[in-house]
Structures are given as C-alpha cells and as structure tokens.
Structure 1
Amino acid sequence: MSMPRRALAAAAVALVLPLSACGSGGDDSGPTDASGKIEGDITFQTWNLRANFKPYFEGLVADFEKKYPGTRVKWIDQPAEGYPDKISADAAGGTLPDVVNVSPDLVAPLAKAGMALDLDKAAGKYKSEYLSGAWASHQVPGMSGTYAFPWYLNTGPLFYNKSLFTRAGLDPSSPPKTYGDLFADALRMAKKSDGKVATLANVPTIEDFGRYGVQLMNKEGTGFAFNDAKGIELLTEYKQLYDAKALDPQALTATPESSGRKFLTEAVAMNPGSALDLGNFKKQAPDLYKNIGITDQITSTGHVNMYVMGVMVNSRTAHTPAAVAFAHFVTDAHNQMSFAKKVAIFPSTAGSLDDPYFTKEDGTDETRVRIAAAKSLKNAVNYTPVLFSDQMKTALRNEVAKALQGKQSPKAALDNAVKACDQLLKQQG
C-alpha cells in the first residue's frame, strides 16, 4: 500500500489525550490573530511522507522561505506506525509542532483540549478557497469553529469482476447502482456459484451506514444514533447476505489488504479501490485486469464517501502568523495540484477538480478512474464522524459480527454498539 492510501486508511485511529492535556472545550490559550508579520522559526510535521516525497516537501519549504524571507521551516516526518500516540505524547508534553498533518479524528481531541487553532477565527478569509465539504470535515460536533485546513482527499470507485457477473447470469455492462440491486445481485451470484463466490468481502462499517442514509449521531454530537430503523434494515440485509455466502465468510476478520487479495484471486466479485489499484491488477492479475469493471460507490444519499487529510496549526505556537501562512501555503490550490500530479490523491481546493487533469479522458483506465473520482468528490462527505474513535470502530465491528453469526438480533447488536460508543464518547471528555 502506498503512502497516502496507507495514511488515509489509518485516518480513523484513536487518539485519547492524557487528562493532563485536556482543557475546557476549545478555549485556545495562544494568540488567534494571524494578521501580524510573517516571520520566525516554525516546525512542520507530516505523517509518513518523507520516503516517497522528500524532494516535493523540501521544495515546498524552500518556496515558502523565499516568499517570506524572515521565516525558517523545520520539516519533520513521523512513521505511520504510532503516529497518534506520538501526537498524544507531544500534546501532553508541550512539544507539539507548530503545524501538524492530521486527520479529522486526530484533530478532535486536540481541539477539545484547546490546542488546535480555530481557523474560522484566525484564517476565515481562506474558507472560500476550499470545497465546502472538505472545510467542514475538521469541525467538531458540539464546538464552533474549524480546526485544520483541508489538504488532500481520496475516494474511489467500486471495481467488479465482469467474468464473475457473466457466469452468474448478470449483465456485466449493468453493475448494481442501488443497494437493492446490490443485495439482489449478490444473492444471485452466491446461488449460481453454490456459495463459492461472494460479492462483498467486508462487514458494514460506520461509513457504510452513512452511505445507506442512516443518521450516525444526534445533532448536538453528544450521542450516536445508527441504531435507527434504517440502520437495523441495513444490518438485516447483510445478515441475509452472510447466511447465503454472498458476503465472504471471512468478512468478520477482513482487513482492506485481505479483501483486496480476495478480489485479486477472483474469490470476491466486487471491492472498493482507487486508481492506484489498477496498476497492481495489471501486474499481479492480468486476467482479472482484462475483466475489470469500474462503477460508482453505491449510496442512498447522493453523496459518496471521502477520506480527508488536514493541516492543523498549534494554538500555542509562538509564531501564529507564520504558522497559519505556512499551513495555508501547503494546502493552497497551486501546491495541492502539484502534489496531486505526483500521487493518486485529489486537491481539496475549490475549482481544482475542474482542471483538465481531472476531466479530460485519454483512453486509459487510470484516467477514467481519476475523472470519475474527481467528479464524485465535488459533493462528497466524510461519513466517519469526527468523534468516532478506533475503539468505537471495534465496538461496532464486534456487535455486527454477533448479529451476522446469529448470536443476537440486528436491533440488539446496534443498540449495544450505540451504548458502547456513547460510553466511550463520555470518556473522551
């Protein structure tokens, strides 16, 4: 898995700040005025980017220092493994860098502890430069404000195996467009293959509930709500798929990597992915590559799911104007566009997705995927709630597994999951 995919896949790892770092709901103790002279030494921390993109970031720093001669930026990069723990330790110890690469769930506890600068106050003039869904992704329920500049985005289509569709008597040129189609096609494929070919390899996650149209949290952000009638309906459908082997039997313990391998070996008919996967298919499974179908994410809301990375400013930086200016510089349209051309990610800046790079076909599958993803990102949302921690993910997964195994009803499973997640939410403070 390449860098951004790995970082984005890790975007919902938990971060619980030690009590010593907790503050009173976002009361920034540092200066919020970013209008002063842009000068001083600041530190910029990224998440697992040095190995593949060292020249890009060194150039970025040099360009900024040239534009603002009174500044110096020290770039540090942390490995993917243990990144949330590193941020937690730095926050508790008062050594958090001035500008930090974060995901929405990582920014939430920092904002609650008063350590993330409110950009609505300090940098609101830049808001219109970004896609509205991307800007909103670093807002925290129950708090006013936005706590990081949106940076790169990712999303992807559903890949499907045309030959498996044909074998099941399904039209390979007409993949499922709705959840109803998906469930019907999956049951048919399982029946035709005598349970040997599943259509899906993963149990439903919080983002699946979101795409299905389930309300995930109450409006105040004080409790979860995915145990409503629509949530129960989705899990009931998945239970039917599991019983029919239309959902892979190993889905209860699947990872994105294991699901990808299932699709690669043609044991599973559909799998989410991105343009990065096509090169992998071409190299490792040429027969599969010849039969790859590409379709949109299935959603009941009209909005696909997106993953988003952000750049946060430490509210306690000694150089607020320089830190805000640099965070904006990293995420401005020009620099996001140049980064997007180096790796299969997408800019969060308004208008960038209209660039010919994201709109003009050249006959390749890679470009087709990039164009489709860029189009869908314009009104995409990050379904994973900012407050949904890794522990909550585990709680939901465990209860879903019990429902699929018939150990409890879908309603009981979701009631228990909401109860567990609400309890964890209270512990976050």
Structure 2
Amino acid sequence: MPTSRRTFAALAVSALLLPLSACGSGDDGGGPGDASGKIEGDITFQTWNLRANFKDYFDGVIADFEKKHPGTRVKWVDQPAEGYADKISADAAGGTLPDVVNVSPDLVAPLAKAGLALDLDKAAAKYKKEYLAGAWASHQIPGMTGTYAFPWYLNTGPLFYNKSLFKKAGLDPEQPPKTYDDLFADALELAKKSDGKVATLANVPTIEDFGRYGVELMNKQGTAFTFNDAKGIQLLAKYKELYDAKALDPQALTATPESSGKKFLTEAVAMNPGSALDLGNFKKQAPSLYRNIGITDQITSTGHVNMYVMGVMVNSRTKHTAASVAFAHWVTDAEHQMSFAKKVAIFPSTAGSLDDPYFTKEDGTDETRVRVAAAKSLKNAVNYTPVLFSEQMKTALRNEVAKALQGKESAKAALDNAVKACNTLLQQQG
C-alpha cells in the first residue's frame, strides 16, 4: 500500500542487545508485572507519528481515562516515523523506555527477548477474548510463550487495476486475475500486446509475497527460515520470467511503494496494491485512471490476505503495572478502536467490530466498496511478515532476489543464499 499508514508496519528494529532495565517511579500495590493492583500513578504513553493529525483524539482518550481513574496521570509523547526503531532501541538500552509504547510486531520482538515487554497472557488474559484471534497472535514471538502487546489497528488493501490497459491487451476488464497462474498469464499477455511498454507489476517479491504464495517461511520452532523450499523457488522463477518479458517493471529492483504508486498513476503499470486512501488521490491526480479503476482482492494461494498490525506494549519494568495495562487496554478496546477507525482508513482489531454497519454496508461509492471488502478479508487475515524478520533480513532477501532477476544466480541459489544470510542474522539476535 503506497500510503503513510503502511510505513508504520514497514519499519523494523535491528538485532538488539538490551539490558533488563527500564524507567518508572513509585510503585503499584502488586509490584512490577502484577496488573491486579490499584489503578493509579503517573505513566508515559508513546505513539508513533500520530500527534500531527490526531492530537484532539488522543487528548480526549487520555482525559476520559484520567477521569475514570482518579489518581492516574498520563503523559503523552509522540515520536516521528523517521528513526522510531532507533529511538526505542536507545530508550531500552538507556533504561528510559516509556510505560506504554506503540509498537509493531517486529519492534516488540527484541524487547520481549530482553524481558522488557509484559506478557499479556499472564497479566491481561481476561482481555484476550475481546480481540480477533489473528490479531492477538500477531505479537507472539516464535520460540517464546506469551503475547507481548495488545493488538491495535489493522490495515490491508485490495489490488487496483487499470481496466483500460486490460482492454487494450484483449483481456476482459471485468475479469481480473484471481489466482497466481491467472496473474502471471495476464501479465505476460499485457507485456506482449504493448511491446513491453506496460508492466503489470512494479515490485519484486517480498517476504509477504512468499507467504501469500503458500511458502513456509520459518520452521515451527522459529529457529530457522525456510522460504527456499520448492514453492519459494517456483515463485521467484516466475518473477524472473516476468522480468525478462518486461511484465515486471524494469525499475522494480529499486522501487519503493511511492515510486510504484506513481507508475500506476501514469498508467505505466497495470496493477498495484493500495487502500481506500488511494482512491481520493486517483480522483484528484489522475481522473482518466480513476474512471477506469478496477478493484479486486489480494491474490493468495492460502485464502488468507496479508494484514499489517500495530500494537500497544506495556513495559514490564514499569512501576505502575495496573495503570499501564489498564491504559493500554483502554486505548485498544472496541469503543476507542471504532472511533479511531472512523477518523482514518484503518480497521479495528477487536472481535465483532468488523460486523458494524460501517464496515458491512455499501453506499455505492468506491470508498465504501474498498472498506467493506477489506473489513471482510481481515476477519481471517494473516500478518505474513515473520515477527523475527528484521530490516537487515529484508535487505538480504531483496539483494538476492535482484541477482536472480538479473540472471546472476538461479532462483534456487538466490533463495539458498538469502535463507543462509537471514539465519545467520537470526542467530545473532540470540
């Protein structure tokens, strides 16, 4: 999704060696790690690039919490998107990690390994049933028992396609590809009919794509990556075929979500992932594209689309565990998630919320069509990106994929090398 919301889930923290220390003052009756004490005390809540657009919303959420729980005070700090992972790393190392922290699954993993993330299966098990099972599981760490953050907002999106480009290639614009075989066949036909001027895809395969294709990404123990299996090799070989035929954009090796979005806007690419936020951009920046926009589901071999998930973690070393757990739950409960989802194109992770008419009733607009379709798909969506897949690992995979597409290595050799590099990095995480 070429939207600002995706950048939250795309950031990752590198392997960290964190001391078992954190900040906090005062004490709950139950002590650190015990959420059964009295809800009181001063706590700090840190978000990730949200103040600029949602100050009034969070001011209200905090004020209502403090009113409900006299004796509590919540200090809200907001960090910029740039360098957020580094900021968390520095705070963890320096013992200044806030009490309640906005995280993504990959950010919580090293904190949980260092003992700095509270295990909610122990401290807040009574709340588990309030959330979608897949969302609750998204902050579990392979090789560890427990859940280390409340699930917060979710995002996913459809595939947009250009009906005009499909029609020019002799393809039925009302029958977009539904399977990977369809996608690859249509992409080759579009490239052939346009003499290589129109690519169907603008991005090389990422770890999420391997997951959607049905590749087993890791072993069940979470001790090794396994995406170099027969299916993984098959997917990369198919992308090589597309690349050679110019059905995959020649600049895909250096593409970003933003650059891919621009290619789609200028009608140089026939398909691109997106979200409801993008429809307004199409209408404003590319009216001719907007008139010919098609909307279809993400293509998967598993029946489960990919989702991005944000979470709210409680610092295990907070001195106000009861207040911190209560506030983290407050921010992520059904009422507050629903009100937040109506302010921005995201989706709640709470059970039952996606059955609200806001997410089930169409009104004839493309915006509601996308929202309803996405909400339906999220009920059994999967966060395919492994929690332990760091930014360094993403780079290693991307580099090897590039070598395969350029013909410098076979698909098998490239994925073997990528898995070897990622497993070495995994062992370094400890």
TM-score grouping bracket, smaller chain normalisation: over 0.9
Q: Cα deviation per residue 1:367-408 (whole Å; 9 max; x = unaligned)?
A: 000000000000000000000000000000000000000001
One-letter identity of the residue aligned with 1:419:
K
Unmatched runs of 5 consecutive residues or more in structure 2: 23-30
Structure 1 residues 16, 295: CA separation in 2 closer, same or farther (over 3 Å shift)? same
The aligned counterpart of 1:14 is 13
Aligned-pair CA distance for 1:6: 3.1
Alpha carbons 1:155, 1:307 under 8 Å: kept: yes
Q: Number of residue pairs matched?
A: 421
Aligned-pair CA distance for 1:7: 1.9
Q: Cα deviation per residue 1:62-92 (whole Å; 9 max; x = unaligned)?
A: 0100110110000000000010000000000
Q: Are 1:31 and 2:43 matched, yes or no?
A: no
Aligned-pair CA distance for 1:5: 3.4
Alpha carbons 1:3, 1:48 under 8 Å: kept: no
The aligned counterpart of 1:203 is 204
TM-score by length of 2: 0.96
Q: The residue matched to 1:249 in structure 2 has which SS?
A: coil
Alpha carbons 2:163, 2:294 under 8 Å: kept: yes
Q: Are 1:318 and 2:310 matched, yes or no?
A: no
Alpha carbons 2:3, 2:274 under 8 Å: kept: no
One-letter identity of the residue aligned with 2:134:
G
Q: Cα deviation per residue 1:89-114 (whole Å; 9 max; x = unaligned)?
A: 00001100000000000000000000
Alpha carbons 1:116, 1:314 under 8 Å: kept: yes
- Distance in 2 (alpha carbons) for counterparts of 1:147 and 1:381: 17
Alpha carbons 2:6, 2:308 under 8 Å: kept: no
- Distance in 2 (alpha carbons) for counterparts of 1:47 and 1:184: 41
One-letter identity of the residue aligned with 1:211:
R
1:222-371 matched pairs, under 5 angstroms: 222-371=223-372
Identity of aligned residues (%): 85
The aligned counterpart of 2:99 is 98
- Distance in 1 (alpha carbons) for counterparts of 2:8 and 2:262: 20
TM-score by length of 1: 0.97
1:131-146 matched pairs, under 5 angstroms: 131-146=132-147
Q: Cα deviation per residue 1:144-185 (whole Å; 9 max; x = unaligned)?
A: 000000000000000000000000000000000000000000
Aligned-pair CA distance for 1:9: 3.6
- Distance in 1 (alpha carbons) for counterparts of 2:338 and 2:149: 19
Alpha carbons 1:15, 1:105 under 8 Å: kept: no
Q: Are 1:391 and 2:396 matched, yes or no?
A: no
- Distance in 2 (alpha carbons) for counterparts of 1:4 and 1:206: 19
Q: The residue matched to 1:100 in structure 2 has which SS?
A: strand
Aligned-pair CA distance for 1:219: 0.5
Unmatched runs of 5 consecutive residues or more in structure 1: 24-29
One-letter identity of the residue aligned with 2:178:
K
- Distance in 1 (alpha carbons) for counterparts of 2:405 and 2:170: 27
The aligned counterpart of 2:64 is 63
Q: The residue matched to 1:114 in structure 2 has which SS?
A: coil
Aligned-pair CA distance for 1:3: 4.7
- Distance in 2 (alpha carbons) for counterparts of 1:209 and 1:393: 12
My pick for the range that moved more, 256-265 or 14-23, is 14-23
Aligned-pair CA distance for 1:22: 9.4
Alpha carbons 1:347, 1:353 under 8 Å: kept: yes
1:373-384 matched pairs, under 5 angstroms: 373-384=374-385
Alpha carbons 1:306, 1:381 under 8 Å: kept: yes
The aligned counterpart of 2:75 is 74
Structure 1 residues 45, 360: CA separation in 2 closer, same or farther (over 3 Å shift)? same
The aligned counterpart of 1:44 is 45
- Distance in 2 (alpha carbons) for counterparts of 1:118 and 1:6: 26
- Distance in 2 (alpha carbons) for counterparts of 1:22 and 1:218: 31
The aligned counterpart of 1:186 is 187
One-letter identity of the residue aligned with 1:179:
Y
- Distance in 2 (alpha carbons) for counterparts of 1:302 and 1:2: 24
Q: The residue matched to 2:347 in structure 1 has which SS?
A: coil
Alpha carbons 2:3, 2:278 under 8 Å: kept: no
Aligned-pair CA distance for 1:358: 0.3
> Cα RMSD (Å) of the superposition?
1.2
- Distance in 1 (alpha carbons) for counterparts of 2:190 and 2:413: 29
Q: The residue matched to 1:159 in structure 2 has which SS?
A: strand
